[in-house]
């Protein structure tokens, strides 16, 4: 099981989302903490950012994160698919 630490940018953008999306994210984060590479998360490395990964909450919402160590993940951002353009 991984320990998930949201940074302030993640928390700020999470709070901007609807309650329904927040519930979807919370459910996916439970799965994510057990296995960040679960097939339903469609996790992949972000091109051009070797240490960053993206995972899908649904077809529109993405999580951006990186490994801090073997059991710690820092959640960097969450939002609509276009957040990938900000990297």
Per-residue pLDDT tens, the chain, 87 aa: give them. Answer: 999 999 999 999 999 999 999 999 999 999 999 999 999 999 999 988 889 999 999 999 999 999 999 899 999 999 987 776 666
- State the pLDDT at residue 57: 96
Please tell me the pTM assigned to this model: 0.90
- Domain CATH code at residue 55: 3.30.2310.20
- State the pLDDT at residue 33: 96
Residues 6+ apart with CB under 8 A from 18: none
Q: How far apart are CA 69 and CA 49, in angstroms?
A: 17
- State the pLDDT at residue 87: 62
Question: How far apart, in Å, are the Cα atoms of 71 and each of 21, 30, 47, 81?
Answer: 26, 14, 23, 26
Domain limits at 22?
3-86
Domains of the chain: total: 1
């Amino acid at each position: 099981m991984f320990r998930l630490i949201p940074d302030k940018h993640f928390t700020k953008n999470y709070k901007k989302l609807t309650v329904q999306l927040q519930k979807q994210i919370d459910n996916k984060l439970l799965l994510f903490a057990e296995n960040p590479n679960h097939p339903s998360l469609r996790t992949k490395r972000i091109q051009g950012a070797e240490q960053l990964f993206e995972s899908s909450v649904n077809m529109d919402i993405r999580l951006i994160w990186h490994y801090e160590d073997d059991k710690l993940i820092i959640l960097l951002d969450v939002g609509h698919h276009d957040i990938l353009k900000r990297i």
